[in-house]
Chains A and B, each alone.
Chain A
Amino acid sequence: MGYSRDILTIAKWEVKRSVGTMGKNVLPVALILIFLLVAVTGFTAKSGLHLQDGIYKIGTDDPELASLFSGDARFSVKLADMWTIQRNQDYYDLMVFNRVVYVHDTDRGKAAAKTMDRDYAKYRSHVYNQQSDLFAAYPLWIDVQFIKSELDFTATQSGQQVSVRPRSNQPPTPTGPVEPVAIPDASIGISSDELRSSLQQSTSQNSQISRYTDMFSGSGNPIGTYKTPDQLSPPLPFDSIILVFLFIFPLYFMSQFYMMSIMNERVGRRGELLLSTPARPSAIILGKALPYFVGMVGISALLTLWIKASPFIVLPLIPVILFFLAVALLIGMISRSFKELSFISIFFSTIATSYLFFPSIFANIHVVSLISPLTLIVLTLQGTAITATDYLYSTSLFWLSAVVLFYVGVVNFREERLFSQSDLFVKTSDFIASTLSFKRPYLSLFLFNAFLIPFVFMVQLMLLVLFFNLPMPLSLILLLIGAAFVEEIAKSMGIYSMIKKAPSFFTWPVIVGASFVTALGFLFGEKLLLFVTLSQITESVFGSILFTSIGVLWMPFLLHFSCVLIIAASIKKGGEIGYGIGLLAAVAVHCLYNMYLILGWFT
């Protein structure tokens, strides 16, 4: 009882303090700014973003075409007679005479031609969808039916092609039972007016994003499954992604407030007062976090109401909120000054944004996108149902790592840590060391490494997203080296900070023992988490490099053990420099192991 009362009391203090400081001075200004923001957004929506205005130059003698292309602000169009234009033809990226386009042979000229091509296609479809006989202008409609494959996406990732039947002129025969299928109806069943309005909508949408690429068709597909050939590419969930931004933005701000609240306790040792109360550190931390957590969930819920979306979209946000708060806590505890706080938090938010956002761009294309909880939101907004498995799959890492980070914060919420002014690396090492107990060094190393797994997975999944787009051999090699680095650094962290703290404790037998439990803990955590969640990815070639899930248990164990041992021994021998050398050696061993056993190279 006392514990939860402590939390509530501290939460009340926190609210009172922040309302006290923020209320009088900030609130009016904030209100004005928010009003301005709405006004400016309206203004911008009306006038458009003028970022790429006038980067291409067109010269033409055709007034009709001149007025057509001057509608696109990227072009600055010069209307003059042919002779005037040809006199300084190097100035123009594109010249149009007699309905033929001449392209200046530069990168800019080629890019301009591409842009013009897209504009022209847009203009053509604009003319076509005005036709009274729509089915003369759009004679072909495609009804796209998705079939769920019995093999999941890992089949393609592991290098298996769709239909690997070389040089056979016989059609394939299915092995499974053939179920009768209804022959599709030949009529489209939708009035041409409805189709017309959907066409007009899809050409007007997305003009900002389709600037960069014509790979995307209009977002969403208003008329059932019907598409014209031009609309066949998968839609980019652009609107949903913008909406998701709306959700994430306030979360950043609120976690900044929490970060500052923690930092302010450290400025001028103000927090001594709080530490001297009977409240436990965990109560202080949770109590301070509680108002922000409630605020973040509240804002998300309000936004959900406002856009009239399904209330379920708050669910994937909760682990993200907890993760943000946990990171904010640690950044607030580690930074030495405001400058450092700014830099670290900008750094963190960029990385977190990329982890959260970029996968969700591929929401309609690939299952890998599910590593980000935001994909769940995008899918829910689009009306795709998400399952409990999806939820577990994309949020489990966030839940786990938030808990672990809070734990690290709680253990270190002490005077000597909070008010010390040591270097970022030293401090991080100290923070790690205090989670490890010298009374039970083996047990704590085991647990430490087991709990490190969610972070290792997060970083490795990030690598997967980064690399899997590259051409095949390159992506595998980069992933191989990157994954080995991440794993070796992670495994060495615990043992490194312990050796730093008490070098004499680590005799040779202790080093071997410590390496043994480190490898054991790492393997245990890896297997456990894989078992619970990540089976979707782990079965692929990429997965086996990342998570060494192949084969019997003793082989990966031996690998982990020997790599840790290499690093630990080099730290003991050579200190800081030894660590670097040992790390490189371990990474090399790790890579060779993967190449030999998993990819089957050198054989």
Chain B
Amino acid sequence: MKVKNIGLIMKKDLKGLGHERTILLAILLQLFIALFSSFLMVGLTSMYDPSALSKYSTVHYHIAYNGTDSDLRDLLASDASLRVYDMELAPALQSLKERKLAAVVYVPETKPDAVDPVKITLYTIKNDLQAAVVDVKLKEQFVKYEGDLREIRAERIREKPVPLDIPKSTGGSDFYEFVYGLLIPLLVIMPAIISSALVIDLITEEYQNNTLETLLSAPISANEIFWGKVAAALVLVPLQAGIWLFLLMLNGITIVNAPQILVYATIVAMVLILVASVTALYYRERTAAQFVYSTAIVVLMLFSLALPENPMNIIAKLATGSAGTEQWLVLGLIIAVVMVLSVLTNRYAVKSMRGNQAPR
């Protein structure tokens, strides 16, 4: 097996990719996903957290209060963003329908220390963005009132939770866990999945276009062809994953252990590419190979995610900077798997490519 020949095959396949300019699509796709996920996050936050939308934060919401006077009324009135009116229920509801009010609250006569719960009725507008915002405002006050009522009824509560003082409003964002614990691992693994799908195409194409015979008649051996294709798919992985990390860093997201993350992405990609190439060598036909492989990959990914210290978890920990020595252990383990797989696939590739070349 000569490295030069492997390089030749690799270059040929990469040139083919470059010629078609399809790799551009892959990069475009990455950008699109990055855009969309950040938009989604912004969207979710602003939909539920009114203070995130500056436009809504200066607005006063008019609400009507009806029924028995209670501490809740004072709480609502103390909220600077709410303006409370005492109104009869019927005109209040009609005003709500006409959007002159944002919500209507009805409070019954139930005493704070009664046996029964205080059941208040909240009327809001269905399927409305601002109604959702108002709900969040009201929720704050309702939660406070619930706490007060709990205090009043405290004697009746037998087992109290262990008290714990967590400093409020430290400004930690929901964004953190989403970015480091989901986005980064997924984005880094995606190139591995794309590349393993690619290696199926590279191999089945030679069979289905009957070009494998021509290649084999050149002074290049079967395993050189095979490893050339694997190499072509593999080099794209750190490249793509690197672009990802770079884009994220441009967005101001600090990623602590970028080199290790790239190593992980590449070595995981190697496992996937080897599995994919065996599937391709077996079926010699794209439809079947891609179908079987993509089902297999779902099984594989789900399984690995169910294991503790799986590669995606390690990537998340590397990105947050909380990975310990276990990262090297897991890396060593995957490398061992790659070695064993390499030997086996190499044997299989030579046998399969030299044999009958019709698609199965």
Contacts and interface: CB of A to CB of B under 8 A. Distances in A.
Contact of A52 (B44, B127, B166, B313): B313
For A120, A132, A186, A257, which residue has the most chain B Cβ atoms within 10 angstroms?
A186
B164 A101 contact: yes
A108 B43 CA distance: 23
B46 A53 contact: no
Interface in A329-358: 336-344, 346-347, 350-351, 354, 358
A110 B197 contact: no
Contact of B287 (A183, A216, A264, A367): A264
B182 A51 contact: yes
B180 interface: yes
A33 interface: yes
B283 A469 contact: no
Interface string A41-67: 101100111111111110000001100
Contact of A424 (B20, B288, B294): B20
B9 to A, nearest CB: 15
B313 A365 contact: no
Contacts of B44: 213, 215, 361
For B53, B161, B164, which residue has the most chain A Cβ atoms within 10 angstroms?
B164
A485 to B, nearest CB: 15
B47 A50 contact: no
Contacts of B139: 229-230, 232-233
A470 B42 contact: yes
Interface stretch (A142-150, A304-312, A553-561): A142-150
B341 interface: no
A156 B129 contact: yes
A216 B47 CA distance: 11
A188 interface: yes
Nearest to A470: B42
Contact of B171 (A110, A175, A232): A110
Interface stretch (A20-28, A278-286, A394-402, A582-590): A20-28
B61 interface: yes
A144 B67 CA distance: 16
A163 B94 contact: no
B100 interface: yes
Contacts of B177: 52, 55, 74, 111, 115, 211-212
B3 interface: no
Nearest to A105: B170
Contacts of A26: 283, 288, 291-292
A115 B175 CA distance: 12
A123 B93 CA distance: 38
Nearest to A56: B322
B102 interface: yes
Contacts of A226: 119
A212 B135 contact: no
B208 A267 contact: yes
A228 B20 contact: no
A130 B299 contact: no
A150 B150 CA distance: 38
A532 interface: no
Interface string B315-350: 011001110000000000000000000000000000
B250 interface: no
Contacts, number: 444
A140 B120 contact: yes
A149 B123 CA distance: 11
Contacts of B296: 33
A41 to B, nearest CB: 6
A229 B130 contact: no
B58 to A, nearest CB: 11
Contacts of B156: 133, 136
Interface string A8-22: 000000000000011
A175 B109 CA distance: 30
B198 interface: yes
Contacts of A467: 39
B149 A139 contact: yes
A188 B205 contact: no
A96 interface: yes
Nearest to A57: B322
Interface string B274-304: 0000000001011110111011101100110
Nearest to B160: A127
A44 B304 CA distance: 9
Contact of B98 (A150, A171, A342): A150
B2 interface: no
Given A40-B302, A51-B305, A471-B53, A140 B149 contact: yes
Nearest to A47: B306
A366 interface: yes
A422 to B, nearest CB: 11
A172 B100 contact: yes
B162 interface: yes
Given A143-B122, A268-B210, A339 B17 contact: yes
B180 A143 contact: no
For B90, B198, B306, B317, which residue has the most chain A Cβ atoms within 10 angstroms?
B306
A36 B317 CA distance: 29
A328 B76 CA distance: 56
Interface string B204-243: 1100111000000000000000000000000000000000
Interface in B43-102: 43-49, 53-55, 59, 61-62, 64, 67, 85-87, 89-91, 93-102
Contact of B159 (A127, A181, A184, A338): A127
Contact of B309 (A50, A136, A228): A50
A139 B302 contact: no
B170 A146 contact: no
For A21, A30, A138, A339, which residue has the most chain B Cβ atoms within 10 angstroms?
A339
A354 B39 CA distance: 12
Contacts of A2: none
15 contacts: A25-B288, A29-B292, A40-B299, A43-B303, A51-B310, A53-B317, A132-B158, A145-B121, A150-B97, A156-B128, A211-B181, A216-B48, A337-B20, A366-B129, A423-B21
Given A113-B167, A161-B59, 17 more contacts: A36-B299, A40-B299, A109-B172, A111-B172, A139-B112, A171-B85, A172-B62, A177-B94, A183-B89, A215-B174, A233-B135, A261-B287, A338-B204, A339-B16, A343-B25, A347-B25, A472-B55
